[in-house]
Amino acid sequence: MVDLDSTGIGLPEQNVTSQLNPWSPELRNSIMANFQEMNVHDIAETCSQLRVGSLLKVSGEEFAVDGLLGEGGFAKIYRARNEEGLAVALKYEVPSCAWEAVHNRISTEISPAIMKIDDMYIFRNASLIVNEYLSMGNMLQCINNVPGEVSYSVVLHLFIQLARILKEVYAARIIHGDVKPDNVMFIGKLPEGLSLHADDLLSSEPIIRLIDWGRAIDLSSLPNGASFGGRAGTQCFDCPEMLNDRPWTYQTDYFSFAASLHVGIFKTYGKVVEDTNGFMFEKPLPRCADQKLPIPSWDNIIEKLTTAFKLTFRHNGLKKQNATMRPF
Q: Read out DSSP for 188-236?
A: S-PPS-TT--HHHHHTSPP-EEE---TT-EEGGGS-TT--B-EE---TT
Q: How many CA atoms lie within 13 A of 148 on its CB side?
A: 6
In the chain, what are the domains? 15-132 (3.30.200.20), 139-316 (1.10.510.10)
The catalytic position among 5, 66, 178, 275 is 178
For the four alpha carbons of 280, 281, 282 and 288, in that order, the dihedral sign comes to: negative
Mean pLDDT for 256-264 is: 95
Q: How far apart are CA 29 and CA 34, in angstroms?
A: 9
**3-state SS, residue 5:** coil
Give the model's pLDDT for residue 288.
72
The model scores a pTM over 0.85? yes
Which pLDDT belongs to residue 249?
Answer: 96
d(CA 203, CA 215): 30
Percentage of the residues of the chain whose pLDDT score is greater than 70: 87
Please confirm, yes or no, whether 238 is among the known catalytic residues.
no
pLDDT mean over 5-20: 81
φ, ψ of residue 312 in degrees (nearest 5): -65, -40
Report how far residue 142's alpha carbon sits from residue 114's, in angstroms, rounded to the nearest whole number: 19
Segment 84-99, tens digit of pLDDT: 999 999 999 988 888 8
Distance CA 239, CA 243 (A): 7
Residues contacting 228, CB < 8 A, separation 6+: 16, 18, 20, 21, 22, 217, 247, 248, 249
91 is in an annotated binding site: yes
**Within 13 Å of residue 22, how many CA atoms lie on the same side as its CB?**
27
Task: Please state whether 170 falls in left (phi above 0), alpha (psi between -120 and 50) or beta.
Answer: alpha
User: What would the mean pLDDT of 262-279 be, rounded to a whole number?
Assistant: 86
Mean pLDDT of the chain: 86
The CA-based diameter of the chain, rounded to the nearest angstrom, is: 65
| Residue 227 neighbours by CB distance under 10 Å | 16
Q: What is the 3-state secondary structure (H, E, C) of 134-160?
A: CCCCEHHHHHHHCCCCCCHHHHHHHHH
